[in-house]
Amino acid sequence: MQTRRTAQLLLIAAAGLTLGACSNFPSRQTQVWVWDDMKKQDKYKPQMSSAFFSDGRASRGPVEGALAQEHYRADEPYFTGVAADGNYVARNPEPLTKEVLLRGQNKFNVYCSPCHDRTGSGRGIVPAKATWIPGNMHDDRVVNFVDGEIFHVITMGRRSMPGYRFQIQEKDRWAIVAYVRALQRAGHGSMADVPVELQAKVR
């Protein structure tokens, strides 16, 4: 009885091994498909054609007007710097706190200073090595931008400057705008901005 049982088990094991090897055994011979193991199945892959749809494509485009969740921006002005009336947002929506300014400084030094240098003058390391002229943020023209226009330049780029919307989050872009304002203020300072007790030390 015991030997018969062992023989039966061995037989099953051998059968399993033999059949199991059919589809996964590397061989130059054409495979014997005993079980498909879902390796062969009817399905459409991207870009395949199909006679089923009138346009002959297997893939369907998104429904008109559909928007991916991550592309949905409830507060458009915050994300573009452009208000509903088509004008640039006048004032930075982020609060002007020390924390925001320090964050703006950090991001400015990382992302903007290679071209614009740390003061915003436009004489960074990149233009020193390449023929490329970044704008000077202390030009009256740029100083007179409203906050939203600077945000928009960072977001979309302008002329030869690339946009940084993929590298820098909206919140940080507004922080950079706040810091650019601080730089401009520093660049346009006058004796009146120096505390009275320190004015004598300024040459």
Examine residue 174 and tell whether it contacts ligand HEC (CB under 6 A). no
* CB of 87 vs ligand HEC, minimal distance in Å: 16
| Distance between start and end Cα atoms, the chain | 110
User: Segment near ligand HEC (CB under 6 A), from 11-19, 56-64, 68-76, 130-138?
Assistant: 130-138
H/E stretch holding 198 reads helix 196-199
Rule CB under 6 A: which of 52-111 touch ligand HEC? 111
* CB of 89 vs ligand HEC, minimal distance in Å: 15
* CB of 182 vs ligand HEC, minimal distance in Å: 12
- Contacting residue, 89, 154, 178, 183, with ligand HEC by CB under 6 A: 154
Cα–Cα dist 202/152, whole Å: 37
Total binding residues toward ligand HEC, as defined by CB under 6 A: 23
Cα–Cα dist 90/37, whole Å: 63
Q: Which two tokens stand for residue 96?
A: 């002007």
Written as one letter, the residue type at 55 is: D
Alpha helices, DSSP H, located in 25-133: 76-80, 98-107, 113-116, 125-129
Examine residue 126 and tell whether it contacts ligand HEC (CB under 6 A). yes
* CB of 158 vs ligand HEC, minimal distance in Å: 5
User: Segment near ligand HEC (CB under 6 A), from 25-33, 35-43, 46-54, 154-162?
Assistant: 154-162
Largest Cα separation within the chain, whole Å, is 112
Whether residue 132 contacts residue 160, with contact meaning beta carbons closer than 8 Å, is answered with yes
Residues binding ligand HEC (CB under 6 A): 111-112, 114-116, 126, 132-135, 137, 142, 150, 153-154, 158-162, 164, 176, 180
